[in-house]
Amino acid sequence: TDEARTMYTKALNNGYKNALTTYHLAALYLNLEDTDNAMLYLDMTIELDPYHTGARLKKIELLVMKERYEEALKNAQEFIEVS
């Protein structure tokens, strides 16, 4: 996991900032239960690709897990709008 994190972080730092890389980093941080960094990379993924279904759903799920229900609802409504 540390190796994967290092690899993806190096890719971002070397100009390979794309939705696939940021989404993989978000998933990695979710597996490590580092929800703050997971949210950061989910937000980056959505910024890079507003239609990224996986990132939008994971963000909603994470917001519910953090009991941030109003924000989760807002994100769900945005998800429906872009779908």
pLDDT tens by residue, the chain, 83 residues: 788 888 888 888 888 789 999 999 999 999 999 999 999 999 999 999 999 999 999 999 999 999 999 999 999 999 999 98
Residues with Cβ within 8 Å of 78's Cβ and at least 6 positions away in sequence, in order, are 56
What pLDDT, on the 0 to 100 scale, is given for residue 40? 97
The gap between the terminal CA atoms of the chain, to the nearest Å, is 32
pTM tops 0.85: yes
